[in-house]
Structure 1
Amino acid sequence: MIRRIAAALSIFLVAGSILVIGQGAGAPADGPFAIHAEPVVLDPADPGRRDIGGLRYLGGWVLTSDDPDFGGISAMALAGDGFVAVSDAGGLFRFALDGDAISRADIARLPTGPAPEDGGPVRKRDRDAEALAHDPETGCYWVAFERANGVWRFDAEFAASDADHAPGAMEDWPNNGGAEAMVRLDDGRFLIFSEAGDGPGDSREVLLFAGDPSERGDAPVRLGYRPPGDHRITDAALLPDGRLLVLNRDFSLVAGVSVIVSIVALDDLAAGTILTGNVVARFDPPLTVDNMEALAVDARDGRTIVWMASDNNFNPLQRSLLMQFELIEDAR
């Protein structure tokens, strides 16, 4: 996650930007540990609008809580009837949505993770979780921490971690541009995307692990990912057909936040391959958009459902958005 975006967003919003669009900040949460959901429209200028590129809007909500640990959503996964999300401050959020209301919610902290290099007390920045993968069969979760550029494996309840490893191939990734997206493929391999680490050509580096990256193993295959334009990858999720849905974000003081959703084919994962995607949809103000960092995909009755969530940077001028779409138009 690009930390400086928080300060820039504050300046931009105070200046009167239309970056943060919607129905207000949402009503107060029901209790000190509850999460509250307030519906928002996709396009405030056209509340009935549903289609944007190859996506159809099914609903969106501003998520709020009285708990100061809630916010900074940087990755999420679907599990059972709800969501598991992690934050760039070490937060762990488990919640379910029933219509426009949160039906259950739990706000906690990751039980373990990277320790400070100086041996001092753990700070929020030490638990900068940016990527999450889940195995529905075993229930295991993997969390990639950006600043440490390491991967921790957790049990199904997030009670403890039984493996962690900082792969040498990730050691040179930038302190604030490292592991940003992680995908577990159906055959057990993992892809980990760097936000800003140099890959082949003008791409950002991607590592393909033959097995569990939280354990020591063979050196990963080095590939690259070339995001659209000046955007950077913030998350990725596997589609039912084996291709990859990728969330890409850009920010400028003039245009605000821009988000592009693209589809990447994984037919060639040989060393040195540069992955590129076809654009599915693009979100720019005045559409409802924020610092979108989390992505999850669900297959439902032959439909592909796409979920996106935003990192509010713990900034009162930003919001934690949760948005639901159906993928209706292919990007082959």
Structure 2
Amino acid sequence: MRVLFVILAVLLIVPGWSGAERLPLLQQGRQQVTAIPVNLFAKDPARKRLGALTYLGGVELRSADPVFGGFSSMRVRGDRFTMLSDGGGIVRFTMGPDWQVRGATARELPGGPGTGWQKRDRDSESMAVLPGGDILVGFERANALWRYDHALRRVIGWRAPRAMRKWSANSGPEAMATMPDGSVVVFSESNAKRGAKGFAAIRLLGNPIDPATPWYRFRYVAPPQFAVTDAITLPDGRMLVLVRRFGLPQLFTARLQLVEAGAIRPGAIVTGRTIAAFEGEAIHDNFEALALTREKGRDVVWIASDDNQAFWQRSLLLKFRLES
């Protein structure tokens, strides 16, 4: 009987507890992160070209922290990296041309849907930098957008857009990108509609957390069996969309697609042209994060993988020059 009373007390005292395992948290503060160089083609290290991409280098990121990894979105500014996991964990570090990680720190994202007790409360899958520097984070399952300051330390506000309410629990705002005009495009991961081509997506034409902001729907047609995982906008208005496939024989493969400027319009059925395929002998994993920088006047694309905290996957961080 005493055991029963203890269980009931826990249910009453701990908010949101439903018998599910507690969301694991990163070890706060300094982190020891190592970077192990990787080749684009393991069997041919000298080979650097993959479609429209030229490989500039890459590493596998490792840490003794068992919660390290799961990166679903990232931001790169010069030599400063911000990696956001799908459990609300933030890892920041600097890394220069020598590919050595320095000053790595970890902490949790403030705020977010629900109580934060379970992973579904902090399923942070996407990130976009807004005009002025604030950062928008998309939470799957809650189908909500949270706006933070530039350092991801203060919540400014949040919104669950009406257009996203019927997106399925595990196919929410997986990818976001800020357009040159300041509008924000949000892609569902794989939210399909019977009789309609492609997956659901929306474009918010102003402050994404303001209920009065106008918006419209469009759909994105990924290659068969692929789902959208991230997107970035190029300075000329074109967009890069990362899509991923899970299945045999290679488990995870990915493709980078190019969407022409002006293709995203109200009600449009948008398709991208594949410019690089991470499959076959090329390095491949659960690629979920994209970032863009500029070096010597050229577009540089960063791609990172979500290792799902699985021993057989890797947290890869790869760097490419875009050739088209």
Q: TM-score category by the smaller chain?
A: 0.7 to 0.9
Contact preservation (8 Å) 1:181, 1:233: yes
Alignment of 1:232-243 (within 5 A): 232-243=227-238
Instruction: Indicate the residue corresponding to 1:223 in structure 2.
Output: 218
Q: Choose which of 279, 288, 312 in structure 2 pairs with 1:284.
A: 279
The one of the two structures with greater contact order (alpha-carbon pairs below 8 A, sep at least 6) is 1
After TM superposition, the structure 1 stretch with the greater mean CA deviation from structure 2, 265-274 or 90-99, is 265-274
Q: Choose which of 282, 292, 296 in structure 2 pairs with 1:297.
A: 292
In the alignment, residue 161 of structure 2 is paired with which amino acid?
P
Instruction: Indicate the residue corresponding to 1:275 in structure 2.
Output: 270
Q: Deviations over 1:66-86 (max 9, x none)?
A: 223311000111235311121
Q: Deviations over 1:271-316 (max 9, x none)?
A: 2101111111101143221100000111221211010000000111
TM-superposed deviation, 1:122: 1.9
Contact preservation (8 Å) 2:78, 2:293: no
Runs of 4+ in 1 over 3 A off after TM superposition: none
In the alignment, residue 261 of structure 1 is paired with which amino acid?
L
Q: Choose which of 183, 186, 205 in structure 1 pairs with 2:200.
A: 205
TM-superposed deviation, 1:198: 2.6
Percent identity over the alignment? 39
Q: Choose which of 173, 176, 188 in structure 2 pairs with 1:179.
A: 173
TM-superposed deviation, 1:142: 0.7
Q: Choose which of 17, 37, 43 in structure 2 pairs with 1:45.
A: 43
TM-superposed deviation, 1:35: 1.7
Instruction: Indicate the residue corresponding to 1:112 in structure 2.
Output: 111
Matched, 1:140 2:134: yes
TM-superposed deviation, 1:100: 1.8
- Tell me how large the CA RMSD over aligned residues is: 1.7
Aligned partners of 2:263, 2:47: CA distance in 1, in Å? 37
Query: 5+ unaligned residues in a row in structure 2: which ranges?
Result: 1-28
Aligned partners of 2:47, 2:242: CA distance in 1, in Å? 21
TM-score (norm. length: structure 2): 0.86
Aligned partners of 2:241, 2:249: CA distance in 1, in Å? 24
Q: Deviations over 1:93-134 (max 9, x none)?
A: 112212220122111110110115xxxx62222100010011
TM-superposed deviation, 1:218: 3.6
Contact preservation (8 Å) 1:143, 1:153: yes
Aligned partners of 1:285, 1:35: CA distance in 2, in Å? 29
Aligned partners of 1:210, 1:122: CA distance in 2, in Å? 33
Aligned partners of 2:67, 2:253: CA distance in 1, in Å? 26
Q: Deviations over 1:136-193 (max 9, x none)?
A: x633111000111101111122221011011111010010011110111122211000
Aligned partners of 1:69, 1:239: CA distance in 2, in Å? 32
Instruction: Indicate the residue corresponding to 2:79 in structure 1.
Output: 81
Q: Choose which of 299, 302, 316 in structure 2 pairs with 1:321.
A: 316
Alignment of 1:115-194 (within 5 A): 115-116=114-115, 122-135=117-130, 138-194=132-188
Aligned partners of 2:40, 2:314: CA distance in 1, in Å? 14
Query: 5+ unaligned residues in a row in structure 1: which ranges?
Result: 1-30
Instruction: Indicate the residue corresponding to 1:101 in structure 2.
Output: 100
TM-score (norm. length: structure 1): 0.84
Instruction: Indicate the residue corresponding to 1:13 in structure 2.
Output: none
Alignment of 1:60-79 (within 5 A): 60-79=58-77
After TM superposition, the structure 1 stretch with the greater mean CA deviation from structure 2, 31-40 or 232-241, is 31-40
